[in-house]
Amino acid sequence: MTTPPRKWDGRAIAYAETFAGQCAHAIEPLLGALDPRPGEALLDVGTGAGAVAAAAQGRGGVVIAVDPEADMLELADVAAPGAVLVRAALPSLPLPGVSVDVVVANFVLNHVPDAGAAVRELGRVLRRVAP
């Protein structure tokens, strides 16, 4: 099995100046729907330049920001200081099972080769809340 090319490898600044703005409109409605509580662990998969991570921190979340690209994580570190930065990609996250309260993957699943495996991995790390 070959590793698929990474679309944003070495292109963090170009991403931040273009595509990130196109994704930004979804951040507040997304976080509003998920309603993360202060102190909850929020996993931002495909953090890119860190816009979702920064918005989640603004709501009091403890953020784990994941991206496969080191230069994206450098931008995320500036946008969301204090976030835990993890270099990884779906569908294989180096996180323990049931370790986060909220999962966000803003405009990410369309970039992974196996969306089903990616969703299963997100479910693996998500804590279950009793109804």
- CATH label of the domain that carries residue 62: 3.40.50.150
Query: What number of CA atoms fall less than 13 Å from residue 102's CA on the CB side?
Result: 26
Give the mean pLDDT of the chain.
85
Whether 33 is in a domain gets the answer yes
Whether 2 is in a domain gets the answer no
Q: How many domains are contained in the chain? A: 1
Query: 44: domain range?
Result: 12-125
Whether 87 is in a domain gets the answer yes
Per residue in 121-131, pLDDT (tens digit) is 999 999 976 44
Whether 89 is in a domain gets the answer yes
Q: Flag whether pLDDT at 10 surpasses 70.
A: no
CA–CA separation, 38 and 131 (whole Å): 20
Instruction: Report the SS3 class of residue 83.
Output: coil
Beta bridge partners of 62: 41
Q: Which residue has the higher pLDDT, 78 or 131?
A: 78
Q: Flag whether pLDDT at 20 surpasses 70.
A: no
Helices vs. strands in the chain: H and E counts, helices first: 6, 4
Whether 130 is in a domain gets the answer no
What pLDDT is stored for residue 97 in this prediction? 95
**Residue entry with tokens 């997304």:** 30
**Residue entry with tokens 């993360």:** 36
User: If we measure between CA atoms, which residue out of 23, 84, 31, 81 comes closest to residue 56?
Assistant: 31
Whether 28 is in a domain gets the answer yes
Per residue in 24-65, pLDDT (tens digit) is 778 899 999 999 999 999 999 999 889 999 999 999 999 999
Whether 32 is in a domain gets the answer yes
Instruction: Report the SS3 class of residue 58.
Output: helix
Whether 4 is in a domain gets the answer no
DSSP code of residue 109:
G
Per residue in 79-113, pLDDT (tens digit) is 999 999 999 999 999 999 999 999 999 888 888 98
